[in-house]
């Protein structure tokens, strides 16, 4: 199996991160926003794994497990938030939650 | 026993703290118990201390208790320390005992008022501040008590704060006494820069050693202290706050006039007597201020028709007597008069309070009348108080102290006939206005129905103070009565002996006879004018000249009008015209700039999560770029 080079892995992670970030900035649906955050998290996880493989260390994969666990927790909280959001505002548009504006 | 000295001011202060912390959670009963209880305990401790002080005097006839160092900076190292000598013994006794009686009286008097706890809170703080003032061993601690007294007087005069008139009266008292306080603090600065300490005893010793009699610096220091004393003791020209201070509840007036506050000036001058001895000119000024004030206040009192304002002017004139005594170096005589005055003035105010309460808050004496059968206790108390105030011979305490002052004003080395004549004339006027009050309020036809009778908590203080007002003077009898004078002997351990001319006319007994005579004549005149021929008096008062004079005296010789036109209106005018000067745009420019900055910043807070994330991302990108490309 041909090893994936560090550069390719990091470029892919960067592309994924930017996709997630742009989605975060442009999409207004709360579910999609959560999905974008998920993509960004996985981009960071990918960077860990690739870097760990480059130096032949297990740390990168261990970190990825942490990222996974955190992402799971985040999804649980995020989805609960989405349900409350829908309940109180009737829609899932994040721009509706602008009551804190100065 | 003397080690307990610190608890004398600490107990009322503790009462204040407890009442302040528990304020609304306390029932009226508990608040009354705490308020009066702590002052009562303090009175018990003060009495024990006095007994032990007299029975076994500490070395040097003074006890010094250092608690801790207040602060230590730039060579100024004041301590929280108390100094007890014969003079402070008399003061703490009078303050705590009379203070306690007034507190006891207030528990019934204030029964139906809002802010019952708040009232006792301020009263306790008032007593504590005054005790700190008279016990302080350095002038800075004295100044703390001095300002505490000023603050409490403001809070209590304006106690019924829902009527804006009362608040103005409180403010007036605060601001006018502040004029004197400013002089006092400047005096303290002067003393500290010259003698490098504020501790009273070393300070006095230093002044006596380094300054020549009549030297400029001694005169300046004494004059500045006198300024403070004049403000606090309501002497000319800073006297206008005292009549208006009657806006407070009656027990407050009793406390201000008898036990605390107005006698602070007398204490200050007696305490710093060395400075005043070094400045004979200032001492002469003290005597003249006292004499002029006592006459001024007597005339004003004659024209008042608010029962409490008559008493207010009478206090002013009695403090005038004390100043007169201080001015001719009769230090002990002033303290003696302070003591007797505290008894009979508290008595008069508390009796007046009974009358005012009984008639549902009526202050006008011409709407009273005929109360001698309805309110017998108040009547007898008032008679005793008025007799004492007029110095009726032999049976009243006021006679002994006032006679002593009148004799000293002539017989002392610094005394002269003018002061003596002024004091005698004041005594005549005093007995006229005192018995005018008695006859108008308690005799004649009843005008207003009595709705409320005092119960024991208001009657007991009257009885005790009546007894004190009769026997209080027996501790210092004049020479022609056998010369029994333990108070003089006691005070001589703390205050210099008055230098007198033994051969003076004052000590031939004629002066005492005259003092007795003018008091009796005054009472007789009041009887003739107000009982025998009241209609004729009314006709006389309606004529243009007497009427104008009465109006003039009623308004305190127009001092309020004068100050309004000389100080208040020009200051207001200046404030108005300087509103649009050059500084104004600069100051409001800063405010405008802040408003604009606030607008810009709050516009960025648009509440859109996506924008926040975008800005955070851009910021992160800039930081990363900066770190990587550096």
What value of ipTM does the predicted structure carry? 0.81
B601–A102 C-beta distance less than 8 A: yes
CA–CA dist B35, B257 (Å, integer): 20
Please compute Rg for chain B using Cα positions. 28
Residue A72 has pLDDT above 60, yes or no: yes
Q: Is this model's pTM higher than 0.80 or not?
A: no
Query: Closest Cα partner for B325 from B338, B312, B314, B311?
Result: B338
HEC letters along B554-600: HCHHHHHHHHHHHHHHHHHHHHHHHHHCCHHHHHHHHHHHHHHHHHH
Helices (H) and strands (E) in chain A, counts: 3, 0
The three-class DSSP label of residue B304 is coil
Q: % helix / strand / coil in chain B, to the nearest 5? A: 75, 5, 20
Q: Are B410 and B419 in contact (CB under 8 A)?
A: yes
Q: Which two tokens stand for residue B557?
A: 């010789």
Q: Does A97 touch chain B (CB under 8 A)?
A: yes
Span B406-416, average pLDDT? 80
Q: Which two tokens stand for residue B368?
A: 């009273």
Find the CB nearest A102 among B605, B610, B613: B605
Test the A interface: residue of B603, B606, B607 with most A CBs within 10 Å: B607
Q: What is the pLDDT of residue A102?
A: 59
Q: What is the pLDDT of residue A2?
A: 58
B617–A26 C-beta distance less than 8 A: no
Residue B469 has pLDDT above 90, yes or no: no
Centre a 10 Å sphere on the Cβ of residue B416 and count the other Cβ atoms it contains. Answer: 13
Q: What is the pLDDT of residue B590?
A: 92
Residue B9 has pLDDT above 50, yes or no: yes
HEC letters along B151-196: HHHHHHHCCCCCCHHHHHHHHHHHHHHHHHHHHHHHHHHHHHHHHC
- Name the pLDDT band for A71 (thresholds 50, 70, 90): very high
The gap from C-alpha B15 to its chain's centroid, in whole angstroms, comes to 21
Q: What angle, 0 to 180 degrees and rounded to 10, lies between the N-to-C axes of helices B216-232 and B264-271?
A: 160
The gap from C-alpha B376 to its chain's centroid, in whole angstroms, comes to 29
Residue B449 has pLDDT above 50, yes or no: yes
Residue B252 has pLDDT above 70, yes or no: yes
Residue B527 has pLDDT above 90, yes or no: no
- Name the pLDDT band for B625 (thresholds 50, 70, 90): very high
Residue of B nearest to A27 (CA): B610
Q: What is the pLDDT of residue A13?
A: 93
Residue of B nearest to A26 (CA): B610
A25–B614 C-beta distance less than 8 A: yes
Q: Which two tokens stand for residue B168?
A: 């103005």
Residue B47 has pLDDT above 80, yes or no: yes
Q: Which two tokens stand for residue B277?
A: 């001895």
A100–B617 C-beta distance less than 8 A: no
Q: Does A93 touch chain B (CB under 8 A)?
A: no
- Name the pLDDT band for B597 (thresholds 50, 70, 90): very high
The 10s digit of each residue's pLDDT in B546-562 is 777 777 777 878 788 88
The β-bridge relationship of strands B79-85 and B62-69 is antiparallel
Give me the percent of chain A exceeding a pLDDT of 90: 52
Q: % helix / strand / coil in chain A, to the nearest 5? A: 80, 0, 20
The 10s digit of each residue's pLDDT in A18-29 is 999 999 888 888
A26–B607 C-beta distance less than 8 A: no
Q: Which two tokens stand for residue B148?
A: 């505490």
CA–CA dist B57, B42 (Å, integer): 21
Q: Which residues of A touch B603 (CB under 8 A)?
A: 102
B603–A95 C-beta distance less than 8 A: no
Residue B482 has pLDDT above 60, yes or no: yes
Q: What is the pLDDT of residue A1?
A: 46
A98–B613 C-beta distance less than 8 A: no
Q: Are A60 and A49 in contact (CB under 8 A)?
A: yes
Dmax over CA atoms of chain A, in Å, equals: 57
The 10s digit of each residue's pLDDT in B272-287 is 888 888 888 888 888 8
Find the CB nearest A94 among B603, B606, B609: B609
Asked whether the bond before B133 is cis by omega within 30 degrees of 0, the reply is no
CA–CA dist B132, B42 (Å, integer): 13
Find the CB nearest B606 among A21, A25, A101: A101
Q: Which residues of A touch B615 (CB under 8 A)?
A: none
Give me the percent of chain B exceeding a pLDDT of 90: 8
Chain A nearest CA to B587, separation (Å): 26
Q: Does A88 touch chain B (CB under 8 A)?
A: no
Span B239-256, average pLDDT? 85
Q: Which residues of A touch B604 (CB under 8 A)?
A: 102
Find the CB nearest B602 among A26, A99, A102: A102
More confident residue, B560 or B174: B174
Test the A interface: residue of B595, B600, B610 with most A CBs within 10 Å: B610
Compute the count of residue pairs across chains A and B with CB atoms less than 8 Å apart.
33
Interfacial residues of B (vs A; Cβ cutoff 8 Å): 601-610, 613-614, 617
Q: Which two tokens stand for residue A46?
A: 């990918």
Q: Does A5 touch chain B (CB under 8 A)?
A: no
Find the CB nearest B605 among A28, A97, A101: A101
DSSP B430-444: HHHHHHHHHHHHHSS
Nearby residues of A25 by Cβ (< 8 Å), 6 or more positions away: B610, B613, B614, B617
Chain B nearest CA to A2, separation (Å): 31
Q: Does A58 touch chain B (CB under 8 A)?
A: no
Find the CB nearest A98 among B601, B608, B617: B608
CA–CA dist B41, B354 (Å, integer): 26
CA–CA dist B299, B365 (Å, integer): 17
Residue of A nearest to B600 (CA): A102
A100–B610 C-beta distance less than 8 A: no
Q: Which residues of B touch A102 (CB under 8 A)?
A: 601-606
Give me the percent of chain B exceeding a pLDDT of 70: 99
Q: Which two tokens stand for residue B287?
A: 């005597």
- At A29, give phi and psi (nearest 5°): -75, 125
Q: Are B369 and B437 in contact (CB under 8 A)?
A: no
Q: What is the pLDDT of residue B618?
A: 92
Residue B116 has pLDDT above 80, yes or no: yes
Q: Based on the number of CB atoms within 10 Å of its own CB, is B417 exposed (0-12), middle (13-18) or buried (19 or more)?
A: exposed
User: In Å, how far are B440, B461, B465 from B458, measured between CA atoms?
Assistant: 23, 6, 11
User: In Å, how far are B115, B357, B411, B588, B610 from B112, measured between CA atoms?
Assistant: 9, 11, 52, 49, 63
Q: Which residues of B touch A44 (CB under 8 A)?
A: none
The 10s digit of each residue's pLDDT in B179-228 is 889 999 999 889 888 888 888 888 888 888 888 887 888 888 888 989 88
Span B57-76, average pLDDT? 83
A26–B613 C-beta distance less than 8 A: no
Q: Are B275 and B204 in contact (CB under 8 A)?
A: yes
Q: Are B143 and B184 in contact (CB under 8 A)?
A: yes
The label of the residue with tokens 């076994």 reads B56
Span A15-40, average pLDDT? 91
Chain B nearest CA to A87, separation (Å): 19
CA–CA dist B344, B12 (Å, integer): 24
CA–CA dist B308, B315 (Å, integer): 10
B607–A21 C-beta distance less than 8 A: no
Q: Based on the number of CB atoms within 10 Å of its own CB, is A73 exposed (0-12), middle (13-18) or buried (19 or more)?
A: exposed
Chain A nearest CA to B586, separation (Å): 28
Of A72-76, B235-239, B477-481, B564-568, give the range with the top mean pLDDT. A72-76
Find the CB nearest A98 among B607, B613, B617: B607
Q: Which residues of B touch A101 (CB under 8 A)?
A: 605-608
Residue of B nearest to A96 (CA): B608
Q: Is the dihedral of CA B319, B377, B395, B471 positive or negative?
A: negative
Query: Closest Cα partner for B398 from B436, B435, B427, B429?
Result: B427
Nearby residues of B30 by Cβ (< 8 Å), 6 or more positions away: none
Span B525-529, average pLDDT? 80
Quote the DSSP letter at residue A2: P
How many CA atoms does the CB half-sphere of A90 hold within 13 Å? 0
Q: Does A24 touch chain B (CB under 8 A)?
A: yes
Residue B393 has pLDDT above 50, yes or no: yes
Centre a 10 Å sphere on the Cβ of residue B434 and count the other Cβ atoms it contains. Answer: 30
Find the CB nearest A99 among B601, B602, B607: B607
């Amino acid at each position: 199996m041909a090893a994936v080079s560090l550069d390719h892995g990091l470029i892919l992670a960067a592309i994924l991160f930017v996709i997630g970030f742009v989605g975060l900035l442009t999409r207004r649906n709360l579910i999609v926003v959560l999905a974008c955050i998920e993509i960004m998290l996985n981009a960071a996880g990918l960077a860990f794994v690739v870097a760990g493989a480059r130096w032949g260390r297990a740390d990168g994969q261990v970190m990825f497990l942490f990222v996974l666990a955190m992402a799971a927790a985040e999804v649980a909280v995020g989805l609960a938030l989405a349900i409350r959001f829908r309940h109180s505002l009737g829609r899932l548009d994040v721009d509706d939650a602008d009551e804190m504006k100065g | 026993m003397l080690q307990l000295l610190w608890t004398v001011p600490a107990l009322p202060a503790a009462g204040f703290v407890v009442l302040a912390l528990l304020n609304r959670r306390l029932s009226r009963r508990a608040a009354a118990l705490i308020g009066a209880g702590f002052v009562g305990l303090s009175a018990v401790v003060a009495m024990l201390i006095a007994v032990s002080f007299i029975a076994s005097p500490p070395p040097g006839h003074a006890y010094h208790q250092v608690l801790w160092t207040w602060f230590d900076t730039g060579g100024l190292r004041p301590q929280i320390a108390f100094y007890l000598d014969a003079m402070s013994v008399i003061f703490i006794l009078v303050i705590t005992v009379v203070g306690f009686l007034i507190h006891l009286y207030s528990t019934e008097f204030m029964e139906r008022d809002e802010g019952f706890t708040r009232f006792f809170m301020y009263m306790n703080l008032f007593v504590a501040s005054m005790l700190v003032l008279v016990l302080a061993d350095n002038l800075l601690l004295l100044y703390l008590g001095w300002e505490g007294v000023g603050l409490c007087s403001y809070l209590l005069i304006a106690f019924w704060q829902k009527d804006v008139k009362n608040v103005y009266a409180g403010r007036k008292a605060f601001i006018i006494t502040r004029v004197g306080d400013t002089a006092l603090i400047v005096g303290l600065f002067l003393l500290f820069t010259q003698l490098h300490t504020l501790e009273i005893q070393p300070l006095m010793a230093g002044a006596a050693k380094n300054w020549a009699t009549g030297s400029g610096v001694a005169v300046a220091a004494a004059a500045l202290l006198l300024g403070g004393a004049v403000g606090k003791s309501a002497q000319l020209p800073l006297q206008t706050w005292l009549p208006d201070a009657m806006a407070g509840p009656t027990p407050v007036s009793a406390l201000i006039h008898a036990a605390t506050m107005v006698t602070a000036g007398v204490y200050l001058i007696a305490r710093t007597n060395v400075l005043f001895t070094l400045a004979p000119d200032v001492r002469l000024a003290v005597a003249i201020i006292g004499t002029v004030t006592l006459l001024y206040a007597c005339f004003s009192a004659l024209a008042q028709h608010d029962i409490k304002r008559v008493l207010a002017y009478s206090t002013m004139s009695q403090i005038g007597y004390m100043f007169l005594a201080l001015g001719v170096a009769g230090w002990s005589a002033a303290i003696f008069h302070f003591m007797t005055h505290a008894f009979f003035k508290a008595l008069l105010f508390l009796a007046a309070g009974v009358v005012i309460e009984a008639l549902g808050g009526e202050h006008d004496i011409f709407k009273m009348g005929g109360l001698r059968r309805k309110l017998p206790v108040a009547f007898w108390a008032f008679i005793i108080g008025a007799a004492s105030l007029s110095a009726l011979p032999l049976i009243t305490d006021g006679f002994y102290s006032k006679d002593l002052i009148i004799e000293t004003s002539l017989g002392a080395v610094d005394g002269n006939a003018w002061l003596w004549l002024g004091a005698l004339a004041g005594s005549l006027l005093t007995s006229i206005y005192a018995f005018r009050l008695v006859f108008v309020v308690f005799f004649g036809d009843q005008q207003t129905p009595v709705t409320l009778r005092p119960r024991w908590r208001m009657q007991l203080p009257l009885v005790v103070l009546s007894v004190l007002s009769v026997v209080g003077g027996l501790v210092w009898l004049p020479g022609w009565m056998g010369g029994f004078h333990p108070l003089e002997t006691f005070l001589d351990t703390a205050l210099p002996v008055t230098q007198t001319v033994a051969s003076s006319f004052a000590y031939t007994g004629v002066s005492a006879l005259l003092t007795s005579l003018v008091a009796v004549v005054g009472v007789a005149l009041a009887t003739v004018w107000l009982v025998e021929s009241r209609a004729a008096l009314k006709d006389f008062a309606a004529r243009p000249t007497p009427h104008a004079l009465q109006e003039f005296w009623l308004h305190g010789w127009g001092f309020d009008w004068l100050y309004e036109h000389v100080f208040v209106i020009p200051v207001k005018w200046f404030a108005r015209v300087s509103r649009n000067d050059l500084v104004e745009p600069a100051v409001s420019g800063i405010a405008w700039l802040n408003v604009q900055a606030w607008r810009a910043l709050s516009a960025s807070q648009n509440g859109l999560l996506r924008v926040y994330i975008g800005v955070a991302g851009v910021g992160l990108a800039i930081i990363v770029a900066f770190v990587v490309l550096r």
